[in-house]
Structure formats: C-alpha cells, structure tokens
C-alpha cells in the first residue's frame, strides 16, 4: 500500500511539473530565445523586377516572407518593384548609399560601376547553375564576391538562378555570322560585349520596356530569360523567331545586396536567418524555372512560335569571340582579373568532370 501511495504521489508531482512546463512554453511562445535581441527591424528591399514578376520577382517576395516567418516578425522586409522607389538598374547604388537596406538584382546590371560583378553572374559558354553554385559556395567565389563589393559598402549573397537561358527573340533570321552586322539587340553583360564585337548594337533596358521596343522596331532582337518569363512579357507577340541555345547565359545568378552598415546592426541570429532564406530562394528559384520553362515552351509551340537552333557556324564564331571578350574584360580591371584567374581555374576542373561524366548522359538519353 505504501508503495502504491508513493508512486501515486510521484505521478501527481510529475503531472504538475509537466503542466507547469506546458504553461511556460505557451507563455514564451513567440518570444526570442534567451540571449537573442527582442529588437525589431523594418527594412526596404528595392528590386530590378516588375511587381510579382514570375521567377525573379516572386523569388524576392518569397525571401521577404521567409525572413519574417523565420524571425517571428523581428525582421520585416518590404519589397519594392522596379521604379517604385528607384529605377531597375540603380538597385546597387541605392543599397550602397543606404537608400534601402537591401536589393535584389543581377550583378551584370552594375558592371559600369563594378566591372568584376558580371563574373559572378553569367559567362558566355560558361558554367550552368550547379557549376556556378559550386564555385560560389565551395570554391571560394563568395569570398571574392564579398571582397569585390566591400569598398562600396555592400554585402552580396547569391539569391536565385535561372539555369540555361535561350538565345532570344529575333525579327530577323540568323543564318550566318554576317546576320549580326547592324543587329540592335537588348542583351546585358559579357554577352552584350560579344554581340558588339560581332557587329551588333547593344541596347540595355529593364524588363518593362522590352516588349514595346521589340514591337516598335526600336530593337531587332532581345533575350530576357527563357520561356517562363518571356511568355509573361508577351515577347512571342512581338517577334517571329525564338532561337536556342542560350550561349550568352548558360545561367544567371541573382544577388541579394545588403548595406553593410545596416547588416552590422542585426544580431547574429537574424543574420543567420537572412543567409538561410537567401540560400532557400537560390535553390527554389532554379526549381521554379526548370519546371515552368518546360510548361511555357510547350504552350508557346502550341501557339505557333517557331523555335530554331542557331547554326553551328554561328555558335562556333560566338564561342571564339566570347573567349576573347571575357579575357579582355578581365584584363581591363585588376579586381576582375583576380576573380577571373581564380574562377577560370576552378571552372576548368568542373568542366573536365562534366565532360567525363555528365555530357555522355545528356547525349545518350537524348
């Protein structure tokens, strides 16, 4: 009897302890963990994209939502579309000045200010998304990127990728190298420099202006991203020919820019949340493009879009010129030269592995 009474008393005690624990959990739910700051932050993020634009714009919104949820509201990020606070191509400057704490855009948009930036974005005939991510996150690329942006007071974080793009929309047929002479095309970065050397004229503009420029003949051709985004812009209604492959951008890596002074005001746990959310978006955006490009291209073909492959002669010449352009662009800037030397050596090892293994799988399964 005594034994049963003792056990019963112990059970009551354990139940009371458990109840008290549950009550304490309920009272502390939503509160910062011990040692974490209770301070809240309200930040602005300017972007290079139309509001809620598929892929890139949605990715920026997803980042903001993740940060708010993961921080339990301690860090809220208000996203501004291109033109709402600053123009699309001035995102980097706005973050550098502190006009906004954050920005989301494509590194090659500010190559005029930071020539090395385009090497973290897209290389003609260069790395695909997984190869670029390998270099950035495991091959020393992120350290070089941070070093490159530090003088401007900006911290970069990879935050999105497109995968292999298309060569673009043309209102003129491309049957040979000579067809690039006098071609007016919207295409940024190193790919644009290749086009210039091929005799064309580059016209850079944000997404919101492309359709009208193509429709009115202000430009003869454009590349944007791929079927998913191109369909959203309605480019198939303004141009006749859709060319592949995306030699100029086998991938574009997008960046989250953070004002360093603002970054240093965040406690360590919120900094970790920002990095985790950016890494999530970096992968999720690529998944989105892989899934939606397939669906969009099927729809475009169903609407009569003529998809063509650039001739082998043209691709061979573009590759030759691209190699010259990349080397010359790197040599013209000491920071870019340092980045390209390290990047080139690492990518060569990745390419050798792909040649040995992945290339055969793609060829055989096709």
| pLDDT, tens digit, 9 for 90 and up, residues 199-231 | 999 999 999 999 999 999 999 999 999 999 999
Per-residue pLDDT band at 366 (split at 50, 70, 90): confident
- Summarize the confidence of residues 12-24 as an average pLDDT: 46
Per-residue pLDDT band at 38 (split at 50, 70, 90): confident
Between CA 226 and CA 302 the distance in angstroms is 16
pLDDT of 36 strictly over 80: no
Question: What are the distances in angstroms from CA 86 to CA 81, 106, 184?
Answer: 9, 15, 27
pLDDT of 270 strictly over 90: yes
Provide the 10 A C-beta neighbour count for residue 215: 15
Say which residue, 357 or 16, is predicted with more confidence: 357
The residue among 185, 307, 192, 210 whose CA lies nearest residue 249 is 192
Question: What are the distances in angstroms from CA 98 to CA 48, 79, 91, 260?
Answer: 17, 15, 11, 9
Retrieve residue 264's tokens.
């240093």
DSSP state letter for 33 = P
Chain region(s) in the chain for CATH 3.40.190.10: 168-246+304-365
Say which residue, 161 or 31, is predicted with more confidence: 161
Per-residue pLDDT band at 150 (split at 50, 70, 90): very high
**Pairing mode, strands 241-244 and 168-170:** antiparallel
Class of residue 197 by CB neighbours under 10 A (exposed 0-12, middle 13-18, buried 19+)? middle
pLDDT of 336 strictly over 90: yes
User: Candidates 3.90.650.10, 3.40.190.10, 3.10.20.30, 3.30.360.10; correct CATH number of 168-246+304-365?
Assistant: 3.40.190.10
pLDDT of 34 strictly over 80: no
3-state class (DSSP) for residue 47: strand
Retrieve residue 82's tokens.
């291109």
- Tracing tokens 């005594």 back to the chain, one arrives at 2
- Summarize the confidence of residues 128-132 as an average pLDDT: 98
Percent of the chain at pLDDT > 70 equals 90
Chain region(s) in the chain for CATH 3.40.190.170: 41-164+251-290
The strand ranges marked E within the chain are 41-47, 75-80, 102-105, 154-161, 168-170, 184-186, 201-202, 221-222, 241-244, 253-259, 306-309
| pLDDT number for residue 1 | 40
| pLDDT number for residue 37 | 63
Express each pLDDT in 240-265 by its tens digit: 999 999 999 999 999 999 999 999 99
The residue among 344, 350, 356 whose CA lies nearest residue 144 is 344
The least confident of 40-44, 51-55, 149-153, 334-338 is 51-55
| pLDDT number for residue 125 | 98
Express each pLDDT in 154-168 by its tens digit: 999 999 999 999 999
Radius of gyration of the chain (CA): 25
Express each pLDDT in 226-241 by its tens digit: 999 999 999 999 999 9
Between CA 101 and CA 171 the distance in angstroms is 41
Return mean pLDDT, the chain. 92
Residue 75 sits at the vertex; the CA angle it makes with 30 and 25, to the nearest 5 degrees, is 10
Between CA 159 and CA 135 the distance in angstroms is 15
CATH topology for 41-164+251-290 is: D-Maltodextrin-Binding Protein; domain 2 (3.40.190)
Cβ distance 131 to 350 under 8 Å?
A: yes
The residue among 138, 164, 157, 162 whose CA lies nearest residue 63 is 157
Say which residue, 20 or 186, is predicted with more confidence: 186
pLDDT of 107 strictly over 60: yes
């Amino acid at each position: 009897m005594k034994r049963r009474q003792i056990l019963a008393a112990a059970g009551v005690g354990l139940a009371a302890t458990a109840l008290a624990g549950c009550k304490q959990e309920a009272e502390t739910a939503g509160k910062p963990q011990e040692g974490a700051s209770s301070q809240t932050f309200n930040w602005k993020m300017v972007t290079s994209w139309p509001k809620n634009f598929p892929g890139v714009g949605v990715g920026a919104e997803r980042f903001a939502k993740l940060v708010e949820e993961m921080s339990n509201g301690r860090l809220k990020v208000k996203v501004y579309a291109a033109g709402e606070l600053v123009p699309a191509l001035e995102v980097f400057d706005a973050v550098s000045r502190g006009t906004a704490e954050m920005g989301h855009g494509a590194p090659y948009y500010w190559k005029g200010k930071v020539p090395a930036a385009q090497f973290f974005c897209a290389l003609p005939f260069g790395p695909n998304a997984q190869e670029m991510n390998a270099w950035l996150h495991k091959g020393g690329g992120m350290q070089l990127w941070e070093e490159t942006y530090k003088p401007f007071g900006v911290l970069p974080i990879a935050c999105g990728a497109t995968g292999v793009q298309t060569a673009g929309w043309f209102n003129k047929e491309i049957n040979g190298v000579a067809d690039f002479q006098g071609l007016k095309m919207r295409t940024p970065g190193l790919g644009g420099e290749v086009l210039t050397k091929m005799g064309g004229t580059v016209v850079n503009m944000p997404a919101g202006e492309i359709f009208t420029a193509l429709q009115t003949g202000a430009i003869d051709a454009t590349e944007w991203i791929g079927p998913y985004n191109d369909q959203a812009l309605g480019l198939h209604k303004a141009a006749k020919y859709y060319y592949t492959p995306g030699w100029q951008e086998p991938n574009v890596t997008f960046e989250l820019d953070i004002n360093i002074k603002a970054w240093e005001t965040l406690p360590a746990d919120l900094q970790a949340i920002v990095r985790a959310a950016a890494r999530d978006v970096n992968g999720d955006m690529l998944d989105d493009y892989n899934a939606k490009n397939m669906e969009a291209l099927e729809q475009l073909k169903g609407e009569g879009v003529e998809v063509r492959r650039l001739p082998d002669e043209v691709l061979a010449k573009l590759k030759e010129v691209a190699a010259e352009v990349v080397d010359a662009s790197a040599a013209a800037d000491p920071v870019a030269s340092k980045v390209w030397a390290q990047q080139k050596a690492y990518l060569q090892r990745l390419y050798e592995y792909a040649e040995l293994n992945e290339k055969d799988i793609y060829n055989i399964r096709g």
